[in-house]
Amino acid sequence: MDAAEIRQFLEGSGLRCTPQRFAVMAFLTEHNRHATAAEIFEAVNRVDPRSSRATTYNNLRDLVQAGLVREVAVEGRGARFEAIGVPHHHFVCDHCGNVEDLEWYDVPKPAGGSLGKRVVRECELIFRGLCSNCAQRSASG
Amino acid sequence: MDAAEIRQFLEGSGLRCTPQRFAVMAFLTEHNRHATAAEIFEAVNRVDPRSSRATTYNNLRDLVQAGLVREVAVEGRGARFEAIGVPHHHFVCDHCGNVEDLEWYDVPKPAGGSLGKRVVRECELIFRGLCSNCAQRSASG
DNA sequence: GAAGTTTTTAGACTATATCTAATCTGAGAT
DNA sequence: ATCTCAGATTAGATATAGTCTAAAAACTTC
Ligand SMILES: [Mn+2]
Ligand SMILES: [Mn+2]
Ligand SMILES: [Zn+2]
Ligand SMILES: [Zn+2]
């Protein structure tokens, strides 16, 4: 995604394309690695213009509300964010904590009736275990 | 699960059955509601013996390591815990944040090859949307 | 370019979790 | 029964994550 597209995305969602907001969105589209707010704050502050911590949090909140960014549900201390792109599932490594993308495939919904009156908007599938690196290391260790 | 069973579970996992640790485990087995550490701390301190905050966190960590308790992956501030019982999936309400259990059913694994060298230990399926209460309220509102 | 709105900012504040070092407890050894 | 000592608990300090405030800056509209 290039700069013009990011600008269009933001303005199409009713958000001004400020340099700070653009920087957050650009970082998330360039680096698909489920970054924490702290990592994003640090990354956007390595380039001008700088962004305060509050603004980084504010912009992440705005981008999530606008549906351009998703907060990934993982246990642990800091929330993690990713730009919404193609649908996919997640793999979380027990050992190193890395969150990796898995190719999307359809997941069966719960059997009729067991949902009751609930209204489903989306589903998220998370696998846990050892990532490639950690699996190899523990096999050879 | 009664007191004797909890004691057996703890000792079978190499954990002493201290009053504080027992109280955490008993609360989680009695109340299946994905409690935060703060809620657990408060609950075990409504009955004797009392437990410090550090001990509540220590015991939750020990119980998770021993495989008797699971930290549920949800976005938001505080980690949530549940006693490991029968397998199930989760439903998280967009509006009120409640985490509810859904009946278990098998989820297809990723297609061969797309996992690479990763080793899968478990999978978790999370649905999001409106819970029964919030769905009714928003329909009639 | 004046007026009004949104955004940014530094730093205070709140919430959540971990660490530290002293003390206590209890199960096995004697 | 008493000793012993690893394991457990404690209060409080510290660390980390996130939110709030009030003032200034940036932008939009007139
Ligand atoms: Mn992802
Ligand atoms: Mn559950
Ligand atoms: Zn790993
Ligand atoms: Zn609800």
Q: What is the pLDDT of residues A27-82, one digit of tens each?
A: 999 998 899 999 999 999 988 778 999 999 999 999 999 999 999 988 878 999 99
State the Cα–Cα distance between residues A44 and A27, nearest whole angstrom: 7
- Mutation target for B interface from A34, A91, A105, A118: give the one with most B CBs within 10 A: A118
Contact B55, B49 (CB under 8 A): no
Question: Percent helix, strand, coil in chain A (nearest 5)?
Answer: 35, 25, 40
Whether residue A34 sits in one domain with residue A79: yes
- Protein-covered nucleotides of chain C (CB closer than 7 Å) are 6-12, 15-20, 26-27
Q: How confident is the model at residue B137 (pLDDT cuts 50, 70, 90)?
A: confident
Whether residue A65 sits in one domain with residue A13: yes
Q: Residues B113-128: pLDDT tens digits?
A: 899 999 999 999 999 9
Q: What does each C-alpha distance from B72 to A21, A96, B37, B82 come to in angstroms?
A: 31, 18, 12, 7
Max Cα distance, chain A (Å) = 54
Provide the domain limits for residue B25: 1-84
Whether residue A91 sits in one domain with residue A41: no
Q: What does each C-alpha distance from B6 to A27, A39, B9, B59, B69 come to in angstroms?
A: 48, 41, 5, 14, 12
| Shortest Cα–Cα distance, B94 to chain A (Å) | 9
* Residue A126: partners with Cβ closer than 8 Å, 6 or more residues away: A73, A74, A89, A90, A91, A92, B73, B123, B124, B125, B126
Whether residue B123 sits in one domain with residue B77: no
Whether residue B92 sits in one domain with residue B78: no
Residue finishing a domain among B41, B58, B84:
B84
Q: How confident is the model at residue B141 (pLDDT cuts 50, 70, 90)?
A: low
Residue finishing a domain among A35, A61, A84:
A84
Question: Domain holding A129: CATH number?
Answer: 3.30.1490
* Residue B79: partners with Cβ closer than 8 Å, 6 or more residues away: A75, B36, B37, B71, B72
Whether residue B98 sits in one domain with residue B64: no
Residue finishing a domain among A84, A101, A128:
A84
Q: Is the CB of A57 under 7 A from strand D?
A: yes
Q: Residue with structure tokens 């109340």? A: B31
Whether residue A92 sits in one domain with residue A80: no
State the Cα–Cα distance between residues A123 and B129, nearest whole angstrom: 9
Look at residue B101 in the predicted model and tell me its pLDDT.
Answer: 95
Whether residue B61 sits in one domain with residue B11: yes
State the Cα–Cα distance between residues B105 and B88, nearest whole angstrom: 8
Look at residue B126 in the predicted model and tell me its pLDDT.
Answer: 94
Contact A81, A37 (CB under 8 A): yes
Q: Residues B44-59: pLDDT tens digits?
A: 998 777 899 999 999 9
Based on the structure, what is the number of domains in chain B?
A: 2
Q: How confident is the model at residue A141 (pLDDT cuts 50, 70, 90)?
A: low
Whether residue B37 sits in one domain with residue B13: yes
Contact B94, B119 (CB under 8 A): no
Whether residue A67 sits in one domain with residue A2: yes
Whether residue A74 sits in one domain with residue A122: no
Whether residue A121 sits in one domain with residue A73: no
Question: Domain holding A36: CATH number?
Answer: 1.10.10.10
- The answer to whether the predicted template modeling score (pTM) of the entire model surpasses 0.85 is yes
